[in-house]
Amino acid sequence: MANTVDKYFDLVDQNQQKFIETLREVVEIPSVSSDASKRGEVVRMGEWLQARWEQLGAQCKRIDPGKQILEGEELDLPPVILGQYGNDANKKTVLVYGHYDVQPALLEEDPFTLVEMDDGRLVGRGSTDDKGPILGWLLCVETHKQAGLDFPVNLKFCFEGMEESGSEGLDAIIIDQADKWFKGTDVVCISDNYWLGKNKPCLTHGLRGVSYFHLEVEGPGADLHSGVFGGTVHEPMVDLVHLLSKLVDTNGRIQIPGIYDQVMPVTDEEELTYENLEFSHVALATDLKHDVIIHAEERDTLKHRWRYPTLSIHGVEGAFYSPGDKTVIPAKVKGKFSLRTVPNMEPKRVAELVTAFLEKEFAKLGSKNRMRVIETHGGRWWYSSPNHPNFVAGARATELVYGVKPDLTREGGSIPVTLTFEENLNVNVLLLPMGAADDGAHSINEKIDRRNYIQGIKLLGAYLHEVAVTDMTA
């Protein structure tokens, strides 16, 4: 194994520039899943992937999950690309998952052009979330194949184009294919998260869930002139602002009664897991550009990121938001907020508590407007033990590439499919990140460092070699 892995590492080093060019090619496809006008690009990105994998000899199966209504338009959901590379009964089978859609990038000048900076940053939408990592798997196979190196495992893959928009349609496909396409899977690996800091790699064994809500307040039949109607009608926007202000206080404490009741208490054993991690408020404040951190202690910041629920307010549809002044009373507004959920919260209970609370608060306003709470999606949290041999393989691979033992982390973000795989395929799932804490996924100027991208391609390959020689039944 050592010989093959060394050769693989050398080849990755030699091909660095070519790999960056491949990243450039995919960043240029603006596969934004939340934008109806970009749906064709999302599909194009899925087709690009399928074609590249088929060129390598992988067997692919494209599944079109059906339709979706977005911005009043009926759209085809982008394809889920399932694939299989190698089918040797003597090898283990690893399933990898990733997403080829990206977040919108509204404030940037040229987000879909990859820019190589002198300090090693590769800036471009999707570079770290999640195009760099999904290319990692592809380039790993390509490199082995071109050099005639034995591929250590059978690789199955599942790439979707709707992750950033709630993975619509994917759960049903996984459940349906559990005994078909996914049959024989020994372990799962997902590379769709980030290191805790900028220098130390990690393995991740927990994610929060997310329950997303729209709070709609509707009043008159059309927008009104505030000079004529201000003070004489109940204004939807005023009601909405009152309601939104009740959800969470300015220190992040959720104000909805009962929401903390299902949260698991911190044990002494858990307390130890916050020791010796590569995480500091100084580094975090630098990444944030301004020190807006609520908590005094690092471990409290981590607890609020990983193991307590939080509530964020994202925006208001229908509100006036352009520069300049406009004296309008919007007729109908929709507030958007979400809760990140943790063990042992249940999305159904969360939705009940949120709805009951808002109805009660709305009744107190005595408004003649109409209010509706809509839960648009609810993905469950995932928490697993990091003692499984899959994590041992991930840790060995990390040491081989980076020369250090990885931190063990949980994450505040969500990848709902993680739990779907674990529950329906009955296998262990490892989250093995490529990017670093300051990559700015979902933010302006998303990047991946050249070092993380190139070493990350090595890491994913090394992991597959380690799985091949690790007893997964232990």
Q: How far is the CB of 101 from ligand BES (least distance, A)?
A: 9
Q: Residues interacting with Zn ion, by CB under 5 A?
A: 129-130, 192
Q: Which of 35, 41, 101, 278 is catalytic?
A: 101
Stretch that binds ligand BES, among 104-112, 191-199, 306-314, 361-369 (CB under 6 A): 191-199
Give the 3-state secondary structure of residue 222.
Answer: coil
161 binds ligand BES (CB under 6 A): no
Q: How far is the CB of 201 from ligand BES (least distance, A)?
A: 14
Q: How far is the CB of 359 from ligand BES (least distance, A)?
A: 25
**By beta-carbon distance, which residue lies closest to ligand BES?**
413
Q: Is 317 among the catalytic positions? A: no
Tell me which of ligand BES, Zn ion, none is bound by residue 357, counting a contact when its beta carbon lies within the kind-specific cut-off of 5 to 8 angstroms: none
Classify strands 154-160 and 93-99 as parallel, antiparallel or unpaired: parallel
| Total residues in contact with ligand BES, by rule CB under 6 A | 17
| Torsion-angle region of 207 (φ positive above 0: left; ψ -120 to 50: alpha; else: beta) | beta
Q: Which residues contact residue 342 at a Cβ distance below 8 angstroms, ignoring those fewer than 6 apart?
A: 208, 209, 263, 264, 306, 307, 308, 309, 381
List the alpha helices (DSSP H) in 104-225: 132-147, 170-177
Q: Which is nearer to ligand BES, 43 or 432 (CB)?
A: 432
Residue with tokens 């899977």: 185
Q: Which of 35, 41, 192, 278 binds ligand BES (CB under 6 A)?
A: 192
Q: Which of 22, 68, 143, 193 binds ligand BES (CB under 6 A)?
A: 193
Residue with tokens 């999302």: 42
As a whole number of angstroms, the distance between CA 275 and CA 70 comes to 45
As a whole number of angstroms, the distance between CA 193 and CA 199 comes to 15
Restricting to residues 101-130, name those near ligand BES by CB under 6 A: 129-130
Q: Which residues pair with 102 in a beta bridge?
A: 32
Contact by Cβ (8 Å): 103, 162: no
Q: Which of 163, 278, 411, 466 is catalytic?
A: 163
Q: Which is nearer to ligand BES, 130 or 361 (CB)?
A: 130
Q: Is 163 among the catalytic positions? A: yes
Q: Which residues contact residue 450 at a Cβ distance below 8 angstroms, ignoring those fewer than 6 apart?
A: 16, 20, 116, 120, 121, 122
Quick one: which of 208, 222, 203 has its CA closest to 278? 203
As a whole number of angstroms, the distance between CA 273 and CA 269 comes to 7
DSSP annotation of 264 reads P
Site string for ligand BES, 402-441 (x = CB under 6 A): ---------xxxxxx------------------------x
Q: Which of 35, 160, 164, 407 binds ligand BES (CB under 6 A)?
A: 164
What residue ranges bind ligand BES (CB under 6 A)? 129-130, 163-164, 166, 192-194, 210, 379, 411-416, 441
Q: Cite the active site residues.
A: 101, 163
